[in-house]
Structure 1
Amino acid sequence: MTETRLPNLELWPIGNCQVSGLIDQSGALVWGCVPRVDGDPVFSSLLNGEQRDAGIWRFELEGQVSAKQEYIRNTPNLVTTLEAKDGSAVEILDFCPRYERSGRMYRPVAYSRIVRPISGNPRIRVILNPVKDYGAQVAETTHGTNHIRYLVGPQALRLSTDAPVGYIVEGRTFRIEDDTHFFLGPDEPFVGNVRNEVRGMEQRTRKYWQSWVRGLHIPFEWQEEVIRCAITLKLCQHEETGAIVAALTTSIPEAAHSERNWDYRYCWIRDSYYTIQALNRLGALDVMEKYLGYLRNIVDGARGGQIQPLYSVMGESELDETTASYLAGYRGMGPVRRGNAAYKQIQHDCYGQIVLPSVQSFFDKRLLRPADDHDFENLEQVGKMAWAMHDQPDAGLWEFRTREEVHTYSAVMSWAACDRLANVADHLGKADRAAIWRERANSIREKIEAEAWKDDGKGGGHYGASFESDYLDASLLQMVELRFVAPDNERFQQTFAAVEEHLRRGDHMLRYAAEDDFGAPETAFNVCTFWLIEALHLAGRDDEARTLFNTMLSHTTGSGLLSEDLDYETGELWGNFPQTYSLVGVINCAGLLSKLWSDVR
């Protein structure tokens, strides 16, 4: 019997841009939603508390004493090796099929697993218990000679296998003497020989990913780290629409018993600027172009240019928040949330966040579908909202649920929206529109300088996180990245010093230190630490930036990834996983800090 351990974030993502899964340290599939990332978690053991035999798919090796894991190079195909006390061992190969077939990408709602005996006389037991309705009940089953049907909702999943079906149904341990193949996918007859077909799927999937990685532009240093983050960022994309979700999970708390449990399986507009920046650095045009198309759809559908903070991967705007009462939560720390009420919030930074990445489409000659005059007209509607709302209260970047202020970051993003629209207008030869947008940008700049600056009465001061108060938040570090100020700007230098003094905790950075709706923050927010690294680099403090970056990389999981948050005292990861913000942070910082290829050849 395998050792029972508390759930943790030592998880290994697999996926195919239609479905995804998380494999734990024992090789068990503990999280996976169907038919897409925001669907029903048929594998939900990660959030089942102590009831971990429901919502799981694992292979129990009799007498197991150890497990080790690694990805096949430059793929998300995972190999887990289980070893027993008597020296018997098996290898589990996990993947979700993805490759071109019949002129289109084959990416079924399916999980494939191959179990190989590699030494001794291993005996295994297959525990396959998907659930439905967010853990409300274990799926009912029917079975035939070579398959088992799991009724997980309106549609069923079918397991096709060359393992003894009776042993699986009855939960019996059996000796495994040859490679055994499992394909859990659509409820339809499996065409062809399971052994040959699943092996062929794995080989073609492996070739697809390794070929995709070959086309990336990566820095000389930290190549493996960047490649792993790039693959995982692609796994966070729902390819059908191009949307990229904030994380693959819901309700992993930001800190123990904090109830800061949120559903991150949606597309946050606030992520888009940073994500496009990372995809640009990687040269991942396929992912970037699909994402830009998703953003264009959002802009086209915006009523009067109004943009909300997040949308579903299908572009759905209403994401009502409920709790899944049948799931106890990560380590029993509920609630488990489905949906996210933040979609109702007023967050004025969204206008800049969608304008900035969309501008790429007007200048990038590589794109199959460049933006045109009609796209500019639509984007101007968003810009008009940025102009109208730049000095109005909102919930801010950090989504405060009980208070509103005029947040400096939102105002700076509104400035950036107007500034970039002026650049596009110039590019399109629309001098009159360029003049209007530049005038608006200048007006917003004057407002920020007048209202956000907090004079200390001694000839110094700092920008505040909002116009109304003088507290600080880490988003102020983005004023350089957004080109609002230069790195050597005196006001920014004073703000940078104040942010470091008040928000830095050793090698990590808080979002803010002031109490919010849930009390004082207890963990560092990983993307803010990456923002600190970027700011250090832009300020010419490269040695510090490199040291801090390597420290952050030392906190990654065995899979080479990061979640949203980190306990700055213990180093434990918290928050949803894998976090797109954190993936982007690794990619962008590596690009900034790495030696050039020309310097080392």
Structure 2
Amino acid sequence: MSTLELGMIGNCAISALIGETGEIRWCCLPRFDGDPFFSSLLADERQAAERQAAERGFWSIEIDGMVDSSQRYEPNTAVLVTTMTDREGACLEIVDFCPRFRNFDRMFHPTMIVRQIRPLAGSPKIRVRIRPTTDYGSGRPTITRGSNHIRFVGPDHTMRLTTDATISYLLEETWFLLDKPLSLVLGPDESLTSGLSETARTFRERTESYWREWSRALSIPFEWQDVVIRSAITLKLSTFEETGAIVAAMTTSVPEAAGSERNWDYRLCWLRDAYFVVHALNRLSATKTLEHYLNYISNIAINVGSEDLQPLYGLSLAHKLDEYTVDGLAGYRGNGPVRVGNAAYTQIQNDVYGSVILAAAQTFFDSRIGRPGNEELYRELAKLGQMAVEKFDKPDAGIWELRTIASVHTFSALMCWAAADRLARIADRIGHTAEAATWRQHASDMRARIMKEAWNEELGSYVSTFGGDQMDASLLLMNELGFHSGTDARYVGTVAMIEKQLRKGDHLFRYVAPDDFGVPETAFNVCTFWFIEALAATGREEEAREMFDGILACRNKLGLLSEDVDPATGELWGNFPQTYSMVGMIKCAMRLSQKWEDAF
């Protein structure tokens, strides 16, 4: 049965998700949002127990008679190590990575997966099976062979597996003794420029060196260092380096709960994530990644023209992201449908104006940025700010993308307020005093309306919609965005009411009211992190630390976290690994950690 006990490798061009026994179960090519070359994570598993020939969409390296397996990352890297032992005590190790390192004054990150296998003890008997797919599981590439390689010819691209293993054993899926180290390099249909084993060894050494140097430059807290480093590496792996875009997750259609049909394609870039990702990268001092992402956001601001901002865009700023379902994949544990694209791009979500302006504001105040904010960018942001003023009190789908329900959402209004508030600061920064005063007046007017229209006196709390009576976890962000201090009575009351209605054990739901798909069944992990930060802001720091430890216990064995969790069982659900969840772990660890200067 599929689980989210998966490790992630990648190089900011491609990625792969690898199961506990070394099986690659998900990998899209030629980039994160491409056709899955390995797709078994979402395949029909009715035949899984017998492993019949019809199965496809995976790359497995199996040991005969396996009794134990374990996985770990090489410290502070994206290099994954899987160890397997058979009933006789024979043992092998698989090292998986995607090459990434600087070469000829530029970053080398090819469309390539390297797998190194070596015996550790005894004489393990192994089988290698590589069964790629095309057309979202519906087709298979044509397979041809050479003397030392196998070619997989698909409709859009061709991949070559170069190896020093016996080609016939791989093609016929024959069991054989592993009596020496083997290398398998899956990459472009090109010959390697040096020997295979030398290439694999050199690529590994240079890739490990790259990640260790990158990790060494991070700013990290005194406590939870491993949590922050692993989350930071995963966040970096979610960056599409060509454009600076950061995807919400590497998967599509892993449902929020079994049978819920809340199955969405998250291999895209949501503007709602922008501010929080920028905040996390800034705290980490991951300056180059931050700058590259800000460039992506700035391009959206400059290119939008007179059109409304969309809630999400493609990796290369694509606007049209039509959603459709595919027939070739049954879905995670049979929970279909499997969707490609996301119809949310057509929705009206008024919070996005604040998201872009909050993120882009960094370029005007951060002296490290190579291309600081300028007059041109300010003018484009001002256009978005004017739209925020106009849309502030208009109905929309809200942050949670309700598909058939439109209301004046408090969080959307709050983000429109933040847009005007930050534009006032930017205008002051670049010497536009009169314009700054205008933006401040807009912010003041919006603040007064929010405090009147979104406050429910009977509940003693802000509510999710103007004049409503339902709670929404996004209200927790009023403190982070600077609308209320953590000790403000209204904010404290809101946190208390959210806790009463949305908290289930150590987890928080987005909301509990029925939506387009019924009543939510799982907690949304980023909301739990928001609540932890709210506890700390309101002076409940010890409770925050306890709750943080609780959510950290839900991570998989490699320290990764998905979008959702079942509060009753702790089981992970939703797309994986979730960028929002990684950001939440980073921000909470930095907020709650003992200070370095107080530690000694």
Q: TM-score range by the shorter chain?
A: over 0.9
Question: Contact 1:129/1:139 (CA < 8 Å) preserved in 2?
Answer: no
What do residues 193-218 of structure 1 show as CA deviations (whole Å, max 9, x unaligned)? 00101110000000000000000000
Task: Return the offset for 1:138.
Answer: 2.1
Q: 1:395 aligns with which of 387, 394, 397?
A: 397
Q: Provide the residue aligned with 2:444 in structure 1.
A: 442
Task: Return the offset for 1:62.
Answer: 1.2
Q: Provide the residue aligned with 2:4 in structure 1.
A: 9
Q: Does 1:32 align with 2:27?
A: yes
Measure, in 1, the Cα distance between the counterparts of 2:276 and 2:13: 23
Question: Contact 2:249/2:578 (CA < 8 Å) preserved in 1?
Answer: yes
Q: Provide the residue aligned with 1:3 in structure 2.
A: none
Measure, in 1, the Cα distance between the counterparts of 2:466 and 2:279: 28
Which residue identity does 2:44 align to in structure 1? G
Q: Does 1:563 align with 2:562?
A: yes
Question: Contact 1:82/1:90 (CA < 8 Å) preserved in 2?
Answer: yes
Q: 1:289 aligns with which of 274, 288, 291?
A: 291
Measure, in 1, the Cα distance between the counterparts of 2:456 and 2:251: 39
Q: Provide the residue aligned with 2:550 in structure 1.
A: 551
Q: How many residues align?
A: 593
2:387 aligns to what SS in structure 1? helix
Measure, in 2, the Cα distance between the counterparts of 1:506 and 1:175: 50
Task: Return the offset for 1:306.
Answer: 2.4
Q: 1:344 aligns with which of 338, 343, 346?
A: 346
Measure, in 1, the Cα distance between the counterparts of 2:32 and 2:504: 34
Measure, in 2, the Cα distance between the counterparts of 1:439 and 1:7: 54
Question: Contact 2:455/2:467 (CA < 8 Å) preserved in 1?
Answer: no
Q: Does 1:333 align with 2:335?
A: yes
Q: Provide the residue aligned with 1:272 in structure 2.
A: 274
Q: Provide the residue aligned with 2:148 in structure 1.
A: 146
2:288 aligns to what SS in structure 1? helix
Q: Provide the residue aligned with 2:51 in structure 1.
A: none
2:236 aligns to what SS in structure 1? helix
Q: Provide the residue aligned with 1:166 in structure 2.
A: 168
Task: Map 1:574-593; keep pairs closer than 5 Å.
Answer: 574-593=573-592
Task: Return the offset for 1:429.
Answer: 0.9
Measure, in 2, the Cα distance between the counterparts of 1:417 and 1:470: 26
Q: Does 1:42 align with 2:46?
A: no
Task: Return the offset for 1:305.
Answer: 6.0
Q: 1:216 aligns with which of 210, 213, 218?
A: 218
1:395 aligns to what SS in structure 2? coil
What do residues 326-378 of structure 1 show as CA deviations (whole Å, max 9, x unaligned)? 10000011111000000000000000011001000001001111111111011
Measure, in 2, the Cα distance between the counterparts of 1:477 and 1:342: 24
Task: Map 1:364-379; keep pairs closer than 5 Å.
Answer: 364-379=366-381
Q: Provide the residue aligned with 1:522 in structure 2.
A: 521
Q: Provide the residue aligned with 2:52 in structure 1.
A: none
Measure, in 2, the Cα distance between the counterparts of 1:197 and 1:452: 61
What do residues 385-441 of structure 1 show as CA deviations (whole Å, max 9, x unaligned)? 111100000000000001100000000000000000000101111101101100110
Question: Contact 1:261/1:336 (CA < 8 Å) preserved in 2?
Answer: yes
Q: Does 1:542 align with 2:541?
A: yes
What do residues 166-217 of structure 1 show as CA deviations (whole Å, max 9, x unaligned)? 1111111111111100110001112210010111000000000000000000
Question: Contact 2:456/2:467 (CA < 8 Å) preserved in 1?
Answer: no
1:13 aligns to what SS in structure 2? strand
Question: Contact 1:305/1:385 (CA < 8 Å) preserved in 2?
Answer: no
Q: Does 1:315 align with 2:310?
A: no
Measure, in 1, the Cα distance between the counterparts of 2:593 and 2:177: 50
Question: Contact 1:96/1:111 (CA < 8 Å) preserved in 2?
Answer: yes
Measure, in 1, the Cα distance between the counterparts of 2:584 and 2:490: 25
Task: Return the offset for 1:103.
Answer: 1.4
Which residue identity does 2:565 align to in structure 1? L
Question: Contact 1:42/1:152 (CA < 8 Å) preserved in 2?
Answer: no
Measure, in 1, the Cα distance between the counterparts of 2:83 and 2:155: 33
Q: Does 1:125 align with 2:138?
A: no
Instruction: Tell me how large the CA RMSD over aligned residues is.
Output: 0.9
Measure, in 2, the Cα distance between the counterparts of 1:422 and 1:478: 20
Q: Does 1:82 align with 2:77?
A: no
2:260 aligns to what SS in structure 1? coil
Measure, in 2, the Cα distance between the counterparts of 1:308 and 1:49: 34
Q: Provide the residue aligned with 1:191 in structure 2.
A: 193
1:132 aligns to what SS in structure 2? coil
Gaps of 5+ in 1: 1-5
Which residue identity does 1:328 align to in structure 2? A
Measure, in 2, the Cα distance between the counterparts of 1:65 and 1:191: 39
Which residue identity does 1:493 align to in structure 2? V
What do residues 243-296 of structure 1 show as CA deviations (whole Å, max 9, x unaligned)? 000001000000011100000000000001110010011000111010000001
Measure, in 1, the Cα distance between the counterparts of 2:288 and 2:84: 36
Q: 1:423 aligns with which of 409, 425, 431?
A: 425
Q: Provide the residue aligned with 2:473 in structure 1.
A: 474
Q: Provide the residue aligned with 2:530 in structure 1.
A: 531
Question: Contact 1:396/1:410 (CA < 8 Å) preserved in 2?
Answer: yes
Which residue identity does 1:597 align to in structure 2? W
